[in-house]
Amino acid sequence: MKYITKSIWLLIFTVVIGCVIYPALVWAIGQTCFKFQANGSMLNGPDGKPVGSLLISQPFTKAEYFEPRPSTNSYDASAGSSSALAASNYALRGRVAGTLGPLVTYKSGPKTGQPVAPDIEAWFQQDKFQGAPSIVAQWADAHNGMAQGWVKTDANHLQAVQDWGTAHPDIVKQFIHDNPATPTPQPTDLAVVFFEHFSKDHPGQFPSIVAQTGTDGKTTSVAIQPVKTGADIQSNFFDFWVQDHPDAQLQDVPGDLVTSSGSGLDPHITLQNAEFQLDGGIAAKWAADTKREPAAVRAEIDNILQADAFAPFNGLAGEKLVNVLQVNLELRQKYGAPQ
């Protein structure tokens, strides 16, 4: 009984220290000395409500805001991971090309400093890739995963393929005949067939979401329509354009602009990346929103970047970084809400 009693007291003593006193002490120190960090490093928006953590990346859809590094898990903090895709995998190449298309500029030649996006659109409208017609069909045939990914990325895309399948039962029936293992094809299964027939019906065009505007100037609905220009064309066909223009000299881009971090949730980008995005359209968008000179707006935003930039280990190692959420909140505070 003497040994049992001592063991029980030791158990109680350990539980009280390890499960009560120690956690309470750590909590008290955290809430007293490191309250901001202990509560998740949360930042508040203009309305005083939390909008995110300095420690976790999140997407920004407005063109006026800086974008974080790409995420392979849609910025889901519960599923942080890298893509683990090899450089030979077209899924990686396609994602990188999709980022670069609307941003890349010419490095030399008569169009030095000008974006390649307008040239991609003009080339796309000719509806030929390496001399063969039906560029959209070629894209879908060569990269089934990209075509299926297009269907899955947006509910409007999914609905468009479903509606197309309903309107073309003979084509769907032929697909089932050619693919007996798929008796009930889903929209993703029909992706390649959808693009092949779309390319036939709408040469030199691509299906994109187009906003419908009401008489009050507000967006009332969206619909999938054939378009000849836009970000979808610039992104999806940049790689094809590069292959068709092997001699084009293009400006280098920061590596972290197109590569994800190990977790896919890195909240920082390099100062070089931020400067690239600033010149790539952010300054121009804010200038248009505020009706001010682009050069003056660019200088103001650059001052914000320089003031917020920091390097690891107090400048002893690594590139200068900026926190995307912090910088975007400063832009929101300085210029108001984007139009």
**Cα 224 versus chain centre, distance:** 21
pTM of the predicted model as reported, rounded to 2 decimal places? 0.75
pLDDT 10s digits, 157-205: 999 999 999 999 999 999 999 999 999 999 999 999 999 999 999 999 9
pLDDT 10s digits, 211-227: 877 777 676 667 899 99
- Residue 217: what pLDDT? 67
Smallest Cα–Cα separation from 98: which of 173, 41, 153? 153
- Residue 23: what pLDDT? 95
**Paired residues of 212 in beta bridges:** 221
Tell me the DSSP string of 87-137: TT-HHHHHHHHHHHTTT-BBSSSTTBT-BSHHHHHHHHHTTEETTEE-HHH
**Residues written for the chain:** 339
Average pLDDT, the chain: 91
Domain boundaries, the chain: 2-38, 47-83+260-335, 90-244
